Amino acid sequence: MKIAVAKGDGIGPEIMDAVIDVFNAAKVPLEYDFVDMGKWVFDKGFSNGMTAKAKDTIEELGILFKGPMETPKGKGVKSVNVTARKTWNTYANKRTFQTLSGVDTVFSKAGIPIDITIVRENIEDTYGGIEHMLTQDVALGRRFITRPGSMQVIRYAFEMAKKKGAKRITCGHKANIMKLTDGLFLEVFKEVAKEYPELKADDVIVDDLCMKLVSRPDLFDVVVLTNLQGDIVSDLCAGLVGGLGFAPSANIGDHISIFEAVHGTAPDIAGKNIANPTALLLSGLGMLHHLGLMEQAATIENALLYTLESGVHTGDFGDRATASLSTTAFAQAVIQNFGKLPSQNPKPSLANFYVTPTNFKLESNPMLQSHLNDHHKIVGVDFFIESAEQPQAIADKCSLHTTATLKLVTITNRGTQVWPSGSVFTNLINQYYCRFETVNESPLSQNDVIDLYRALAVNFKICSLEILNMWADKKAYSLAQGQ
């Protein structure tokens, strides 16, 4: 079986070579096709951080095993890590966090075992990086949460939890504030939960989740979150088990999957042969499980756990009273411990069930679309305008364009209502949105919106607009703060 391998930047080549040495010693039946990705590829003029040949190879083989990669700073380019995940729709970022004997933490010293799997949505949210300056003082970022995208990652989380033998799956969210975006994610979670009655499914507000994770992490099993919140919470969990050096990562898609170390490239120690390869090795073990190479995975994982339990360590962790090993020597220590079992949590050796990656070409982009077909109508529009005037002066100008069926209902500043009611103590910036709604929710046409745009443009500089939709009898837009 052939997979694509990108060694990465900084310490990437050293730790990748060490992991492949371990794989070869364990007779892992893989061939490696090395591809060009990373900062050094950016520096050669490839704006997406990978060559066309690398892209074609990864799409042909279906599996990418990659080291850490750096995105050049201040050059206006996107992260190659995010680009890879989004381009190939690896919608579920699975990260496992377990107590490792030999890696001392506050919780291991207290005898509190940790075994948490974070599943983070990997495509949507603010990671589209869709941002605009509405005025010189106001930046806007768009956050996309979709029903099909949420369904993909949440169903994966439930299926993975079921196979893992988990007892509990938790949805972390901020639906108390972001009622439409996080609200949609939570709604899909509850829909899917009904299909898995054997799992205890619950939800928790993400700030409360963070507090509970650092006080009682042993209470959690599988947690699924949106992209940005999942990014933050997964790094928090890494801190619970010793840091990013012990945090594997898998990015799972229907056609292509990526297994990687998510720590930095550590350029200050690159080339010194002192980096810790554990996170990349653990990510590689996740890849072996994904491919059904269970026998080799168990051999390597038990040897790694035995090695850590024995006090063997690189310079970034472990007992400072004992000498640290180089990257190469640490990998050799793991190899020498093949066949040995740790005293805590030894892994069973299961039979291989080879899974071949999907090697085929798609003829067109898959279209994700739900089967909902509720009656739709437009019932208003929010106009985002640039103005340094007071709210009443803006309302007076807007009122020139109201009709018997279309009324100005609110004016907000940074999401807080400042007209028809509000407080003089609310600080203002030079960007408002003015909300027009139809009377009795009568339908509005797109041409009506365009006509209103033309009329308002006489009085204001319009930065943007959003249509106010309704499906069935449900308003598909949020109220202003204080409305």
pLDDT digits (tens, 9 = 90+) for 119-131: 999 999 998 889 9
Question: pLDDT at residue 360 above 90?
Answer: no
Instruction: Residue 33: count other Cβ atoms within 10 Å of its Cβ.
Output: 14
Cα separation, 114 vs 108, in Å, equals 8
Taking residues 345-353, what's their average pLDDT? Answer: 88
Domain architecture of the chain: domains with CATH: 1-88+266-278+297-345 (3.40.718.10), 92-252 (3.40.718.10), 376-475 (3.30.70.1570)
Encode pLDDT of 196-218 as tens digits: 999 999 999 999 999 999 999 99
Percent of the chain surpassing pLDDT 70: 98
CA distances from 9 to 49, 71, 235, 388 (A): 11, 10, 21, 48
pLDDT of residue 80: 87
483 pLDDT tier (thresholds 50, 70, 90): confident
Question: pLDDT at residue 48 above 90?
Answer: no
Of 40-44, 113-117, 135-139, 284-288, least confident by mean pLDDT is 40-44
| Residue 42 burial class via C-beta count within 10 angstroms: exposed 0-12, middle 13-18, buried 19 and up | buried
Question: DSSP letters along 340-355, please?
Answer: ---SSSPPP-PPP---
430 pLDDT tier (thresholds 50, 70, 90): very high
Q: What are the residues facing 144 on neighbouring strands?
A: 125
pLDDT of residue 26: 98
Q: What DSSP element (H or E) covers 287?
A: helix 278-290
Percent of the chain surpassing pLDDT 90: 85
Question: pLDDT at residue 352 above 90?
Answer: no
Q: Output the average pLDDT for the chain.
A: 94
Question: pLDDT at residue 43 above 90?
Answer: no
Q: What DSSP element (H or E) covers 135?
A: strand 131-135
In angstroms, how far apart are the furthest CA atoms of the chain?
A: 83
CA-based nearest residue to 46, from 6, 92, 1: 6
Taking residues 384-398, what's their average pLDDT? Answer: 97
pLDDT of residue 266: 95
| Residue 48 burial class via C-beta count within 10 angstroms: exposed 0-12, middle 13-18, buried 19 and up | middle
Question: DSSP letters along 174-234, please?
Answer: -TTTSTTHHHHHHHHHHHHHTT-TTSEEEEEEHHHHHHHHHH-GGG-SEEEE-HHHHHHHH
pLDDT of residue 74: 62
Taking residues 442-449, what's their average pLDDT? Answer: 95
Instruction: Residue 292: count other Cβ atoms within 10 Å of its Cβ.
Output: 16
pLDDT of residue 350: 87
Encode pLDDT of 295-324 as tens digits: 999 999 999 999 999 999 999 999 989 999
Encode pLDDT of 158-182 as tens digits: 999 999 999 999 999 999 999 999 9
Taking residues 44-55, what's their average pLDDT? Answer: 90
pLDDT of residue 387: 97
For 218-321, list the strands marked E by DSSP: 222-225, 248-252, 257-261
Encode pLDDT of 252-309 as tens digits: 999 999 999 999 999 999 999 999 999 999 999 999 999 999 999 999 999 999 999 9
pLDDT of residue 357: 63
Decide: 6 and 84 in contact? Cβ < 8 Å. no
Residue 453 CB contacts under 8 Å (≥ 6 apart), including other chains: 383, 462, 465
pLDDT of residue 30: 97
Describe the strand order of the beta sheet including 31-34 as a list of residue ranges: 31-34, 2-6, 63-66, 257-261, 248-252, 92-98, 115-121, 222-225, 168-173, 200-205
Residue 85 CB contacts under 8 Å (≥ 6 apart), including other chains: 93, 122, 123, 251, 258
CA distances from 198 to 160, 168, 366 (A): 13, 9, 32
Taking residues 412-425, what's their average pLDDT? Answer: 96
Cα separation, 376 vs 109, in Å, equals 58
Taking residues 408-432, what's their average pLDDT? Answer: 96
Decide: 276 and 294 in contact? Cβ < 8 Å. no
Encode pLDDT of 81-108 as tens digits: 888 998 899 999 999 999 999 999 999 9
When computed from its CA atoms, the radius of gyration of the chain, rounded to whole angstroms, is 26
Decide: 61 and 2 in contact? Cβ < 8 Å. yes
pTM for the structure as a whole: 0.92
